[in-house]
A and B are shown apart, each in its own frame.
Chain A
Amino acid sequence: MTKKQKKVLYRIVIAILLLVAISFLPVSGWIQFLLYMIPYLVIGYDILRKAGKGILNREVFDENFLMAVATVGAICLGEYREGVAVMLFYQIGELFQAVAVGKSRMSISALMDIRPDYANIEKEDGQLEQVSPDEVAVGDVIVVCPGEKIPIDGVIAEGSSTLNTSALTGESVPREVEPGDEVISGCVNTSGLLKIRTTKEFGESTVSKILDLVENSSMKKSRSENFITKFAKYYTPAVCYSALALAILPPVVQLLTGHPATWSTWIIRALTFLVISCPCALVISIPLSFFGGIGGASACGILVKGSNYLEALAQTKCVVFDKTGTLTKGVFQVTKIAPTEAFQNTSGDADALLYYAAQAECYSGHPISKSLREAYQAVDKANNKIDNNRVTDVEEIGGHGVTAMVDGHQVAAGNAKLMAKLDLQAAVEKQRGQSAGSDSPDGDEIGTVVYVAVDDVYAGYILIADVPKDTAKEAIDALKRSGVKKTVMLTGDSKAVAEHVAKELAIDEVHSELLPADKVTCVEQLLTGRKPGENLAFVGDGINDAPVLSRADIGIAMGAMGSDAAIEAADIVLMDDNPAKIALAMKISRKCLRIVYENIVFALSVKAICLILGALGLAGMWLAIFADVGVMVLAVLNAIRCLKVK
């Protein structure tokens, strides 16, 4: 509770005690009136003051004015205790609401609390000094102790450690880092001491950008929020005029029909009507729901740039994916090793074949060579080291491959052309059947083939491919389960590769061999072909698909850790590369919208019922206060559910 709220609490307690005490005093008339005025002023002085200012500023119809008129009206009619009690309950309700809203705001902010408070700089005497991250210049060296957050993006100058990225990605997958590695702010250093040379200013660092993005997200209002704003514009005057009519018309009719006019009754009913009508429950709960949804999503590593996108996501019926880096890992991996029978009989198994290939390619910087080396090292982490000393006479033949001497054996590793050059085509054909001689593999073998010959004898081939992410299949399934009608994959890759991946992941539609500009055309065609009210989302890695990201209804960027372009162009950013998060984001979006509608329906219907009861004189000031404050508190409590993701 803030100071302001505590003060109100004390006033409430004092007013209650006074009210109870006065009720038991055997007084009447003027003295009773004066005595009741004490708790009334204690609890309501600020409301009266605000109401007075409101009148001076010609801003008449606010809550303060309503409460002032309602309670003063009651007191004028001699209902002292009722007048004080109404004011008292109004204040209790307001206090409760302020605390509830404050709490939920705090808990949402806590979810997004990744802002580092300080950076450590090593002074000349070796002591660490804590400075504000703003004060650290690019190129300075900062020290991050175990347990601390990395405050600024940079490169590790000294030390190695394990980082916890869960604050950014929502998944606590530890990441090993060593000198030379780039690290991004927001990660928590879990083990060793790190010295980091900063590469960005604090304001440009990942963590600042993310915070900016999330904090500004509530500035982009959703359709539901705009609806309420518009609704309030008509609603408030409509209710005010109805109240006025309620106060004047029935007594006038009574007069005209020859009955005595009961002015006071109808004026009180009109006041009750006004108190009930306050639109606060709607006005507060809807942005709070969206804010909660956005907060909950960012705790899972899904950054949503605005309430409008969260809303649009719920109606997504078509999801278009970029292939490389989005559905696939974007790096080559060995998917198959096929030694010939002859090689197996004489020299060894698949691992041996991989060994020769990896050794021969040990100097090459080509991604395929890299993946061969990685695959070899992965077989046996402890013993399998690429040893440059065992390789001599390395010769790279452009467009063909590599030849080298490995452990005294002449090894050739490369494409079909290299094999043809070595006159080994026949052996290759024997192993691979009809498709030999081409580099595009047949059947379910999709990827790049590296043929290996040892001592001028064909030894087998190794298949290297960009494999789908482990979660890709699950992601597509989850999307389909959650009502996405169509999944499309766009890629610049060859048709065979694209169709193979699409089949494996059960994607409905594939467009392959596209240039970046073709992707925009493709998405535009899909956009014109869809039904109104159905949104199209494009998911890319944000590297060269910025135009498509901005063209789609919702642009979702993947793997945004450190990629500025993605954060700029996309509407939703997935902090880890996991495509399965899209379905989760949709789930959050739906839940959030459901809660918003619940609140709209609940608040409006309770208000409508209370308004009718109030107009008929069946609802007193007590019910009116419930309809105002009670409904709001319930709506706020409901809205807070948006925070919980699972």
Chain B
Amino acid sequence: MKKSYKIEVDCANCALKMEEATKSVEGVKDAVVSFMTQKMNVEFADGADDKAVMQAVLKACKKVEDDCEIYL
């Protein structure tokens, strides 16, 4: 399952860091963060609960970049 989320992030490097952090969250198969469009595409692993996973993603992203925001 793939979902797209609107995000807010200030710098391109931070977007890269968010991408790395998101990819390492359990239940995320793949993730792409686009700084240009301020969007995040997440592909969930089979059977993963997207809402729970996204909470974990948000936490992981906040850890690497305090300023970021994901609109769930």
* A216 to B10 CA separation, bound complex (whole angstroms): 19
Asked if A229 is at the interface of the complex by the 8 Å CB criterion, the answer is yes
B residues with CB within 8 A of A: 4, 10-13, 16-17, 32, 34-37, 39, 41, 63-64, 66-67
Beyond contacts A63-B13, A229-B16: 4 other A-B pairs, Cβ-Cβ < 8 A, are A59-B64, A219-B34, A280-B13, A283-B16
Q: Are B13 and A279 in contact, with the CB atoms below 8 A?
A: yes
Cβ–Cβ contact B13 & A284, under 8 A: yes
For chain A, the count of residues having a C-beta within 8 Å of the partner chain is: 25
Q: Knowing A219-B41, A283-B16 touch, does A57 contact B36 (C-beta < 8 A)? A: no
Interface string of A87-130 (1 = CB under 8 A from B): 00000000000100100010010000000000000000000000
Q: Among B10, B12, B17, B32, find the residue whose CB has the most chain A CB atoms closer than 10 A.
A: B12
Question: A residues within 8 Å of B by Cβ?
Answer: 50, 53-54, 57, 59, 63, 98, 101, 105, 108, 215-216, 218-219, 221, 229, 232, 278-280, 283-284, 287-288, 291
Contact A287 B35 (CB under 8 A): yes
Summed over the interface, the residue pairs from A and B with CB atoms below 8 Å come to a total of 50
The answer on a CB contact under 8 Å between B32 and A221 is yes
Asked if B67 and A232 sit within 8 Å, CB to CB, the answer is no
A287 near B12 (CB under 8 angstroms)? yes
* Chain B min CB distance to A282 (Å): 9
Cβ-defined contact, B11 with A57, below 8 A: no
Expressed in whole angstroms, the Cα–Cα distance for A327 and B56 within the complex equals: 52
Chain B residues positioned under 8 Å from A283 (CB to CB) = 12-13, 16
Chain B residues with Cβ below 8 Å from A54 are 66
B36 pairs with A280, CB closer than 8 A: no
Q: Contact check: which of A218, A232, A280 meets B37 at CB < 8 Å? A: A218
Cα–Cα, bound, A291→B39 (Å)? 14
Nearest chain B residue, comparing its CB with the CB of A228: B16
Interchain CA distance A22-B51 in the complex, whole Å: 53
Contacts of A218 in B (CB 8 A): 34, 36-37
Tell me how far the C-beta of A281 lies from the nearest C-beta in chain B, rounded to whole angstroms.
9
Q: Which residues of chain B come closer than 8 Å to A221, judged between CB atoms?
A: 32
The CA of A57 and the CA of B35, in the complex, are separated in Å by 23
B64 to chain A: which residues have CB within 8 Å? 57, 59
Contact A98 B10 (CB under 8 A): yes
Of the candidates B12, B13, B17, B32, the one whose C-beta lies within 8 Å of that of A219 is B32
Select B11's contact among A105, A215, A229, A284, beta carbons within 8 Å.
A284
**A280-B63 CB under 8 A given contacts A218-B36, A287-B36, A291-B36:** no
A50 pairs with B66, CB closer than 8 A: yes
Complex Cα gap A215–B35 (Å): 11
Give chain B nearest CB distance to A183 CB in angstroms: 28
Known: A219-B32, A287-B34, A287-B35. A57 touches B63 (CB 8 A): yes
User: What is the minimal beta-carbon distance from A64 to any residue of chain B, in angstroms?
Assistant: 9
Q: Please report the C-alpha to C-alpha distance between residue A311 and residue B13 in the assembled complex, in whole angstroms.
A: 22
Contacts of B16 in A (CB 8 A): 229, 232, 283
Chain A residue contacts of B10, Cβ below 8 A: 98
- Distance between Cα atoms of A215 and B66 in the complex (Å): 26
C-alpha spacing A288/B67, complex, angstroms: 21
- List, sorted by A's number, 11 A–B pairs whose CB atoms are closer than 8 Å: A50-B67, A98-B10, A101-B12, A229-B16, A232-B16, A278-B13, A283-B13, A283-B16, A284-B11, A288-B36, A291-B37
